[in-house]
Amino acid sequence: MKWRLVKFSKNSAFMNMSIDEAILEMVRDGLSPPTIRLYGWSPDAVSIGCFQSMEEEVNVKRCMELGVDCVRRITGGGAVYHDSEGELTYSIIAREDLFPKGIRESYREICGYVVRGLGKIGISAEFAPINDIVTHGKKISGNAQTRREGVLLQHGTILYSLDVRKMFGVLNVSKEKISDKMIKNVEERVTSVRSYSDASIEKLCESIETAFTEGREYDIGRVSNEELSKANGLAKNKYGSRDWNFRR
């Protein structure tokens, strides 16, 4: 089974979610290989979990003023602020029979690659069920998975640098609550690569790529024209639509 590694590129939130789903559809149809994709977000974005309420989780007005994209994922989990300079996202999309049947076990396996990747830049991290990765007791990566028609899609973020004030500016936390105490509280629970490593984001990408591909036969590839065409349709009709993003 030959995998495809799609190297890091930055896209809008709508295209990022659309590309992941387009690849999922093509893997389901046997037209694309199992894929590991690294990406970033430009402009900055907020993604919310499949079951969350956009209005409740996100300061939509502030996002519009700042030009921050807001998108609903097809995966569950919580709201995530995707800083265009401060984060690396991965997706792994493959037939589900390539992974443990149990969802919790497959989180453990896939998050294990991220843990190994962080280890390569000197960060000792561990999987923290249900879906987090922690280092020094603080969260450094959040992950979310879905399975559709025999295909597993897991995407996750690795925090490279952390700007808590910026994050609170777009998530729905009242100004009164953005106290120094609260920021301190978040900084005690969440951390980033920069806090424990001098590695550049390029080095982080390389380490994560290596961790995912070790022991696998793979080609470095790109998102195919057919996948891009599907993704453009999804970006227009689903992920860029109010119907989808504000459905809850």
Partner 1 sequence: MEGRSRQKIPGGKLVEVRVEYGERILGVEIVGDFFMHPEEALGRIEDCLIGMRSGEAEGAMVEAIRKEAENAGVEMIGISPEAIAKAIKMAIG
Residues near partner 1, by CB under 8 A: 49-53, 56, 74-79, 103-104, 130-131, 144-148, 248
Q: Which is nearer to partner 1, 153 or 211 (CB)?
A: 153
Q: What minimum distance in Å lies between the beta carbon of 222 and partner 1? A: 29
Q: What minimum distance in Å lies between the beta carbon of 210 and partner 1? A: 29
Q: What minimum distance in Å lies between the beta carbon of 53 and partner 1? A: 5
Q: What minimum distance in Å lies between the beta carbon of 102 and partner 1? A: 9
CB 204 within 8 A of CB 158: yes
Residue 138, SS3 per DSSP: strand
Q: What minimum distance in Å lies between the beta carbon of 152 and partner 1? A: 10
Helical residues (DSSP H) of 147-248, grouped into ranges: 164-170, 180-189, 201-213, 225-234, 242-245
The letter for the amino acid at 123 is I
Q: Which is nearer to partner 1, 101 or 198 (CB)?
A: 101
Q: What minimum distance in Å lies between the beta carbon of 132 and partner 1? A: 12
Cβ-proximal residues to 14 (8 Å cutoff; 6+ apart), any chain: 69, 71, 235, 239, 240
Residue with tokens 């097809």: 74
Q: What minimum distance in Å lies between the beta carbon of 153 and partner 1? A: 11
CB 60 within 8 A of CB 27: no
Q: Which is nearer to partner 1, 59 or 146 (CB)?
A: 146
Q: Which is nearer to partner 1, 77 or 156 (CB)?
A: 77
Q: Which is nearer to partner 1, 167 or 201 (CB)?
A: 167
Buried-exposed string 53-72: b where 16+ CB fall within 10 A, e elsewhere: ebeebbbbeebeeeebbbbb
Q: Which is nearer to partner 1, 39 or 107 (CB)?
A: 107
How many whole angstroms separate alpha carbon 232 and alpha carbon 14? Answer: 9
Q: Which is nearer to partner 1, 189 or 216 (CB)?
A: 189
The residue count of the chain comes to 248
CA torsion sign, 113 to 114 to 115 to 121? positive
